[in-house]
Structure 1
């Protein structure tokens, strides 16, 4: 009887590990093993197929000598900055408005969150139609009588990257709103009431008390949206396909084109490693700050 109980207790202790083991193995193989393999390929002369020789940093030198990569990096800075600023600002504003216990809050929250339920392929395709000068906003306004109105950003190399920003912000603002709203609902109402008793106006309360208390939510939004911006691929592919020309090229689309269209696997792997390093530069400080706060707490 004691042996049976001992076996049952050991099995109960090992059961969670046994259940999680297959998923952990899949993650190790499909994520970390392939990251390691990509790193190896970036130091080889691989083109159409992998070649396991060692050429040092040659592929990285070729990568940074490619004008299209410079365009992709510049576009990433433009897209990421505007995407983060607008998505965070609009999400915070919507969360504050919903936090006022307005009517139909559930309906509005569902409306704001609905774009996040769509894939970036669907979003890109829909906005491609909306911004098409012969089909979307420009045509509708022209048909209403304003024949001089033009909205052809999607075909303008100087403005096309901003169409990607618009589509990305439309999809991700609701996600930021949900995180901020959860943070707002976790703040004790007595803080607001105490400030109101002292004579502080509601805008002043939000600006100097509530928003600073949303620091953890703000940090989470920035980190997650930064990750989305860096890996954006399907949105650009569906909306502009990197064009016109290379006007909306991002590192993710450059990596795809270099690997599968131009048969430069080594250069594509090098660009993937550069993206990985960018993501790590965002995630590692975030994890460090979270662990430090937890240990200090």
Structure 2
């Protein structure tokens, strides 16, 4: 019994020493001035460029600003004129068509390519780099490349006709009815790679036990990918979807590089409408009204994303 006391004393001493060591460690945290200094310019730029500029853009959309912004408010006149202009209505129809079709093909082809890459093929890094390369290119360069490829005198049509198929036609950019399809091809080629990368990351994050259970149950591989794995990739799907949506709303470079909004106004987009009215047509109020209308779907998507995140967090807290 005499030997037990020293052990207890030692334990008590050690625990007290540990408590003293842990206590000061928690209070030694210092304010990280370097992180504040490093992030302050970014915060100021974000507030100045995004918040303040958005507020003033909305304000000027209710004015009759021409060459320079002013504060002569005219109510909803700019919006009434906007929605009665054929150029704007065609722009809205074009972006809806381009957006829906590009998202369908980008999400579909992106997932198929991700499934292909998920088979642990040889030279996976090489193939992944090749597929991702168009996304790293400027949209202007992408547009110029596809403009050349769709040129009836220099591109694919001319090459195929030189091989003997003289009746072959592939020049969508020269006709009003097909020009939007040519832009769609260039947009899909540019955006499918990043969707593939996001989807592949989602596939690689699926628990391996899911695959083992599906094989034991005799479920075909394609059904596993489609009905079991795909619903489990909600985060990756939402990320790719929002990225595609924001890219569609601000589509400008590739259209200007390929068609300049033509032939005629057949490939006009809202971003082109905004730029033309602010610069060429010297109508800042009308351009800001169009820019505000472009901002609305982005704000709806952001609000929807935060709502879904809030609901998911609430469900997790209830489950705990």
Do the structures match in fold with TM over 0.5? Answer: yes
Aligned residue number for residue 296 of structure 1: 315
Aligned residue number for residue 145 of structure 1: 164
**CA shift in 2, pair 1:219/1:75, >3 Å:** same
CA-CA distance at 1:296 after TM superposition: 3.0
Q: For 2:282, what is the secondary structure of its paired residue? A: coil
Aligned residue number for residue 247 of structure 1: 266
Is residue 2:48 matched to residue 1:36? no
The 2-side partners of 1:9 and 1:66 are apart by 64
Match for 1:125 among 132, 135, 144? 144
Is residue 2:248 matched to residue 1:229? yes
Is residue 2:113 matched to residue 1:113? no
Q: For 2:235, what is the secondary structure of its paired residue? A: helix
Aligned residue number for residue 172 of structure 1: 191
CA-CA distance at 1:19 after TM superposition: 2.8
The 1-side partners of 2:313 and 2:115 are apart by 28
Match for 1:276 among 277, 291, 295? 295
Aligned residue number for residue 23 of structure 1: 42
Is residue 2:241 matched to residue 1:213? no
CA-CA distance at 1:10 after TM superposition: 7.9
Aligned residue number for residue 5 of structure 2: none
The 2-side partners of 1:9 and 1:65 are apart by 65
Q: For 1:12, what is the secondary structure of its paired residue? A: coil
CA-CA distance at 1:132 after TM superposition: 0.7
Q: For 1:261, what is the secondary structure of its paired residue? A: coil
Aligned residue number for residue 162 of structure 1: 181
Report the TM-score, using the length of structure 2 for normalisation: 0.88
The 2-side partners of 1:220 and 1:287 are apart by 12
Moved more, 276-285 or 82-91: 276-285
The 2-side partners of 1:92 and 1:193 are apart by 21
Aligned residue number for residue 21 of structure 2: none
The 2-side partners of 1:59 and 1:11 are apart by 53
The 2-side partners of 1:22 and 1:148 are apart by 59
CA-CA distance at 1:286 after TM superposition: 1.3
Deviations 1:33-53 (A, max 9, x none): 111111111011011221221
CA-CA distance at 1:264 after TM superposition: 1.4
Deviations 1:8-33 (A, max 9, x none): 96862454333322210111112211
Q: For 2:151, what is the secondary structure of its paired residue? A: coil
Aligned residue number for residue 48 of structure 1: 67
| Structure 1 stretches lacking a partner, 5+ long | none
Aligned residue number for residue 84 of structure 1: 103
The 2-side partners of 1:272 and 1:253 are apart by 10
Aligned residue number for residue 69 of structure 1: 88
Structure 1: which 4+ aligned runs deviate by more than 6 Å?
none
Aligned residue number for residue 263 of structure 1: 282
Report the TM-score, using the length of structure 1 for normalisation: 0.94
CA-CA distance at 1:165 after TM superposition: 0.8
The 2-side partners of 1:65 and 1:203 are apart by 49
The 2-side partners of 1:294 and 1:237 are apart by 42
